[in-house]
Amino acid sequence: MAFYEGSVMRIEIGGKKILHEQDATLNVSSDFKEIASKDTNGVETSPGKKSWSLSSNAYAANSPTTNNGIKDISEAWQSQALVDIKFTDGVGGNMVYQGQAYIESFSIKATTDEAVTFDYSLKGNGELTIALNS
């Protein structure tokens, strides 16, 4: 059995990886409608709307690069731009999650004698596609 390798599972925004990403989390959920009547025993549920989000943290770097960094995240949040995202390890036959999202929030942490880090979250807009890398 082969396991997914966490160190290569990355978030991509607009086709570019996040520079110096430390971790990433995909959250998916469904709303449920409760149905109860005189003819049911207890409460029955029925799935409703789906939602999803991504979050991550990374080291902040101030250098030109082909990857996304804190500047790109800040600009996408400022402009309220809808961005294309992927969450994948890029390995053929492995899972890839993709869709469109907004930068929901970001924060920057500057601690004495440590590298600056930033956290950010993406709020999914519409469907999250789940497929296999080709």
Q: What is the mean pLDDT of each run of 10 residues along the chain (134 residues)?
A: 84 92 96 89 91 95 79 93 95 95 96 95 97 93
Residue 60 and residue 19: Cα distance in Å, rounded?
8
For residue 76, which of 42, 106, 44 has the smallest C-alpha distance? 106
Task: Provide the pLDDT for residue 68.
Answer: 87
Q: Which helix (H) or strand (E) holds 75?
A: helix 70-79
Task: Provide the pLDDT for residue 64.
Answer: 66
Task: Provide the pLDDT for residue 85.
Answer: 97
Q: What is the pTM of this model?
A: 0.86
Task: Provide the pLDDT for residue 1.
Answer: 53
**Residue 76 class from Cβ within 10 Å (0-12 exposed, 13-18 middle, 19+ buried)?**
buried
For residue 86, which of 97, 101, 72 has the smallest C-alpha distance? 97
